[in-house]
């Protein structure tokens, strides 16, 4: 109904055309008044007001004023032609009133012209903006569909309206046009989401949490469990979306399917565990044979004795490697078991330092143990020996031949172990990275090793409820600090 009474926008004419019409309209009105003189004799100004209205609507205020002047002159001429002489006597006053009214009509018509033009300009701008937004939405959806990852976009803080990529609908088993939001009006109910074994509520899901709290949700793994028992492991991030004023208006999340990768890692860890166990038996027999060969060679030395020593050293390295692989598989599978008992950390560090010093020989760097008093706690002795051996062997390897200090101290409820070397040092930006799997400091690239020792040490210390850290700078050596609760590992 509103469209039926919609005022059309005036035509866009050049200035000469608009002012030409401002004169032409009153002339046409004069001609119509002459032709219909009997009709217009009692209303002589009506056609001229219509002419002014048309000129102002088409041309604006300037042509409207010109049209008023022309219409007033032609209306006066028409009145002079009138038969009724009373019209002639009152013509000046009538023309004055007409001009005033005509100016008001011209001003109103010009204002209407401006309003209609602005309305149509705004409508065109809005239509163009809507077209651009539709094009952007199509581009965004095409981009989402091209990404081989689960991508979700929440368009409001409550995450009631959500857009998903093609991969998101495929992985979550929802229809392409279905809203995948668990907080929407018709949420999907055929799956549940877990993190660390705990089910997440609708508002706790990554995208919803980022939109609701304004805080990012990064680097965590979730498990999607469908009603048929199928499980899906996803790894990704969620970030809040803010407007120009910094207000949170939604969130976006992206996840990759790591289900197959997790299965591959499980198979790998199982293989490492089996292979490590299978290798230990022949390596133990080989080591016993090498030791027997060394005893048979006697104390006089010679080529057989040296060969036996070399075989024993290489077998020892293989045993260490197999033990490391076994530790990696146990840690990855969560099968690490501690056997806490009363242990003197000072005596333990002295024993480990003595073995490493003996292996290094008379020409190797010394290990100075500063442990004036016993420091006793409930720990797994074998695992702590492993931590101390890793830290001391690293200090000897990267210490540049300088003495290494191992300091053991007791604190309130804690035991402290510090291993200090004066070697190549570690840049501050690498302090956190060196405790990860297969990671080593840039300065250690020329040294042998897999980059697992510090990762295993951190895992063993944290399993005891403790913490490990490093203080270092390039060229200034490194200090590794271990803090252990004397009460032992926390209850599982």
**Per-residue pLDDT tens over the stretch 229-238:** 999 999 999 9
Nearest to 393 by CA among 444, 462, 328, 463: 444
If you average pLDDT over residues 278-302, what whole number do you get? 70
Q: How confident is the model at residue 263 (pLDDT cuts 50, 70, 90)?
A: low
If you average pLDDT over residues 268-288, what whole number do you get? 67
- Mean pLDDT is lowest, of 99-113, 130-144, 244-258, 275-289, for 275-289
Instruction: Look at residue 265 and tell me whether its pLDDT is greater than 60.
Output: yes
The residue with greater pLDDT, 481 or 322, is 481
Q: Which of 9-13, 429-433, 463-467 has the highest mean pLDDT?
A: 463-467
Residues 435-492 pLDDT 10s: 887 665 555 554 555 567 888 899 899 989 999 999 988 888 899 999 999 998 887 6
Instruction: Say what the pLDDT of residue 462 is.
Output: 92
- Cα 434 from Cα 226, distance rounded (Å): 38
Instruction: Say what the pLDDT of residue 341 is.
Output: 93
Instruction: Look at residue 144 and tell me whether its pLDDT is greater than 80.
Output: no
CA angle 226, 335, 480 (to 5 degrees): 115
Calculate the alpha carbon distances from 350 to 172, 299, 392, 484 in Å. 57, 29, 11, 17
- Mean pLDDT is lowest, of 131-135, 228-232, 333-337, 353-357, for 333-337
- Cα 308 from Cα 292, distance rounded (Å): 9
Instruction: Say what the pLDDT of residue 87 is.
Output: 54
What integer best gives the mean pLDDT of the chain?
Answer: 82
Neighbouring C-beta atoms of residue 97, cutoff 10 Å: 12
If you average pLDDT over residues 218-240, what whole number do you get? 90
Indicate the angle between helix axes 91-146 and 46-59, nearest 10 degrees: 30
The residue with greater pLDDT, 152 or 442, is 152
Instruction: Say what the pLDDT of residue 363 is.
Output: 64
What pTM value is reported for the model? 0.46
The residue with greater pLDDT, 377 or 177, is 377
Instruction: Look at residue 420 and tell me whether its pLDDT is greater than 90.
Output: yes
Neighbouring C-beta atoms of residue 425, cutoff 10 Å: 18
Instruction: Look at residue 400 and tell me whether its pLDDT is greater than 50.
Output: yes
**Which residue matches tokens 């002295």?**
350
Instruction: Look at residue 414 and tell me whether its pLDDT is greater than 80.
Output: yes
Strands 162-164 and 217-226: unpaired
- DSSP letter at 128 equals H
Q: What number of CA atoms fall less than 13 Å from residue 93's CA on the CB side?
A: 5
Domains of the chain: 3-124 (no CATH), 147-257 (3.30.450.20), 264-333 (1.10.287.130), 341-485 (3.30.565.10)
Task: Note whether 468 and 457 are within 8 A (CB).
Answer: yes
If you average pLDDT over residues 241-265, what whole number do you get? 85
- Mean pLDDT is lowest, of 30-44, 195-209, 257-271, 398-412, for 257-271
CA angle 263, 269, 273 (to 5 degrees): 145
Instruction: Say what the pLDDT of residue 217 is.
Output: 86
């Amino acid at each position: 109904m509103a469209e039926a009474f919609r005022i059309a926008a005036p035509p866009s004419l050049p200035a000469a055309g608009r002012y030409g019409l401002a004169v032409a309209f009153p002339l046409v009105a004069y001609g119509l008044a002459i032709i219909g003189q009997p009709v217009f004799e009692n209303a002589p100004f009506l056609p001229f007001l219509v002419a002014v209205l048309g000129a102002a609507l088409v041309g604006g205020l300037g042509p409207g004023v010109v049209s008023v002047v022309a219409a007033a002159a032609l209306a006066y001429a028409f009145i002079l032609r009138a038969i009724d002489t009373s019209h002639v006597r009152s013509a000046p006053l009538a023309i004055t009133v007409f001009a005033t009214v005509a100016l008001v009509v011209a001003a109103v018509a010009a204002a209407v012209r401006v309003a209609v033009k602005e309305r149509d300009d705004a409508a065109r701008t809005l239509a163009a903006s809507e077209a651009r937004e539709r094009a952007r939405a199509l581009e965004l959806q095409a981009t989402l569909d091209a990404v081989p990852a689960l991508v979700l976009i929440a368009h409001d803080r409550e995450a009631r309206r959500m857009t998903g990529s093609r991969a998101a609908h495929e992985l979550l088993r929802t229809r392409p046009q279905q809203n995948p939001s668990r907080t929407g009006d018709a949420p999907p109910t055929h799956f549940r989401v877990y993190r660390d074994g705990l089910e997440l509520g609708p508002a706790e899901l990554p995208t919803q949490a980022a939109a609701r709290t304004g805080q990012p949700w990064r680097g965590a793994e979730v498990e999607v469990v469908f009603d048929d028992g199928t499980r899906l492991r996803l790894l990704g991030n969620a970030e809040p979306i803010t407007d120009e004023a910094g207000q949170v208006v939604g969130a976006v999340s992206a996840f990759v399917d790591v289900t197959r990768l997790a299965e591959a890692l499980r198979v790998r860890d199982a293989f490492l565990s089996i292979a490590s166990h299978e290798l230990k038996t022949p390596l133990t027999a080989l080591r016993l044979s090498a030791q027997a060969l060394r005893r048979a060679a006697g104390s006089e030395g010679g080529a057989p004795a040296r060969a036996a020593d070399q075989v024993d050293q290489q077998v020892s390295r293989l045993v260490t490697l197999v033990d490391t692989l076994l530790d990696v598989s146990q840690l990855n599978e969560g099968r690490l078991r501690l056997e806490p008992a009363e242990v003197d950390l000072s005596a333990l560090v002295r024993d480990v330092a003595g073995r490493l010093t003996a292996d290094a020989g008379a020409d190797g760097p010394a290990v100075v143990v500063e442990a004036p008093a016993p420091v006793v706690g409930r720990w797994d002795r074998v695992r702590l020996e492993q931590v101390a051996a890793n830290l001391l062997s690293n200090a000897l390897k990267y210490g540049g031949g300088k003495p290494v200090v191992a300091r053991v101290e007791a604190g309130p409820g804690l035991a402290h172990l510090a291993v200090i070397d004066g070697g190549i040092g570690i840049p501050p930006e690498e302090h956190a990275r060196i405790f990860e799997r297969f990671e080593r400091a840039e300065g250690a690239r020329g040294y042998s090793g897999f980059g697992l020792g510090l990762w295993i040490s951190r895992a063993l210390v944290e399993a005891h409820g403790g913490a490990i850290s490093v203080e270092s700078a390039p060229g200034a050596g490194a200090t590794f600090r271990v803090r252990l609760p004397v009460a032992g590992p926390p209850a599982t």
